Amino acid sequence: MTTHVFIVNESSFPIHLEYLFAGTGAADANDHIGLLSDIKRVRIGDRVIFYLETKESSGIDGGFFGIFKIANINPIVIQDSGNPTYLEQQLGKKLIYRVRIDPADVYSKGVVEYQALDNLPVYAKEILWSLIYRKLKGQRGCTPLTIEESDRLIDMIQRANNNRPLRYNNSDGFTYNASSQEIKVVSNGRKRYAGATNPATPILPQILKLANSSRAFEIHLQAYFTENSGLNVNQTLDTITDPASQIIWLGNEVKCGVGMRSIDIFSIINLPRNIRQYKIMELKDEQVTPTITRQIFKYINWTSQYINGAINANIQPIVVAREIPNSGNNRLRRKKLDSNGNPTTFWQEIRDAFNVFNAKNLAMPILYYEYNFVRNNIVFTQVRY
Report if residue 192 sits inside a domain. no
User: Which of 156, 186, 216 marks a domain boundary?
Assistant: 186
- What pLDDT sits at residue 362? 98
Are 40 and 93 in contact, with CB atoms under 8 Å apart?
A: no
* CATH classification of the domain holding 248: 3.40.1350
Determine if the peptide bond prior to 144 is cis (ω within 30°).
no
pLDDT band at 136 (very low <50, low <70, confident <90, very high): very low
**222 lies in the same domain as 340:** yes
Per the prediction, the chain carries an average pLDDT of 91
Could you give the 3-state DSSP secondary structure of residue 12? helix
pLDDT in tens, 315-350: 999 999 999 999 876 666 789 998 899 999 999 999
**144 lies in the same domain as 16:** yes
- What pLDDT sits at residue 359? 98
Report if residue 193 sits inside a domain. no
pLDDT band at 122 (very low <50, low <70, confident <90, very high): very low
pLDDT in tens, 250-296: 999 998 865 668 999 999 999 998 899 999 999 999 999 999 999 99
**181 lies in the same domain as 217:** no
Phi, psi of 382 (to 5 degrees): -75, 135
**104 lies in the same domain as 148:** yes
Q: C-alpha distances in angstroms, 64 versus 80, 108, 157, 229?
A: 26, 11, 8, 29
- Whether the pLDDT of residue 352 is over 90: the answer is yes
Report if residue 197 sits inside a domain. no
- What pLDDT sits at residue 172? 97
Report if residue 377 sits inside a domain. yes
**173 lies in the same domain as 212:** no
Please provide the DSSP assignment of 43-65 as one string.
-TT-EEEEEEE--GGGT---EEE
Are 296 and 280 in contact, with CB atoms under 8 Å apart?
A: yes
**233 lies in the same domain as 326:** yes
For 89-98, what is the mean pLDDT? 96
Q: What is the Cα–Cα distance from 178 to 301, expressed in whole angstroms?
A: 43
For 1-20, what is the mean pLDDT? 95
pLDDT in tens, 44-64: 999 999 999 888 777 788 899
Could you tell me the end-to-end alpha-carbon distance of the chain, in angstroms, rounded to an integer?
34
> Which domain does 249 fall in, by range?
204-382
Q: What is the Cα–Cα distance from 193 to 173, expressed in whole angstroms?
A: 12
Report if residue 196 sits inside a domain. no
- Looking at the structure of the chain, the number of domains it has is 2
- What pLDDT sits at residue 137? 52
- Whether the pLDDT of residue 81 is over 80: the answer is yes
The pTM of the full predicted model, rounded to 2 decimals, is 0.92
Q: Beta 47-53 vs 3-9: how paired, if at all?
A: parallel
pLDDT band at 126 (very low <50, low <70, confident <90, very high): low
Q: What is the Cα–Cα distance from 301 to 188, expressed in whole angstroms?
A: 52
* CATH classification of the domain holding 61: 3.10.590.10
- Whether the pLDDT of residue 155 is over 50: the answer is yes
Q: What is the Cα–Cα distance from 49 to 194, expressed in whole angstroms?
A: 23
- Range with lowest mean pLDDT among 136-140, 177-181, 209-213, 342-346: 136-140
- What pLDDT sits at residue 101? 98
pLDDT in tens, 197-256: 999 999 999 999 999 999 999 999 999 999 999 999 999 999 999 999 999 999 999 988
**100 lies in the same domain as 140:** yes
**294 lies in the same domain as 345:** yes
Q: Which residue has the higher pLDDT, 144 or 70?
A: 70
**19 lies in the same domain as 109:** yes
- What pLDDT sits at residue 119? 56
Alpha helices for the chain (secondary structure H):
12-19, 33-39, 88-91, 113, 129-137, 147-160, 204-212, 218-228, 235-241, 292-306, 345-359
For 24-38, what is the mean pLDDT? 92
pLDDT band at 361 (very low <50, low <70, confident <90, very high): very high
- Whether the pLDDT of residue 140 is over 80: the answer is no
Are 21 and 70 in contact, with CB atoms under 8 Å apart?
A: no
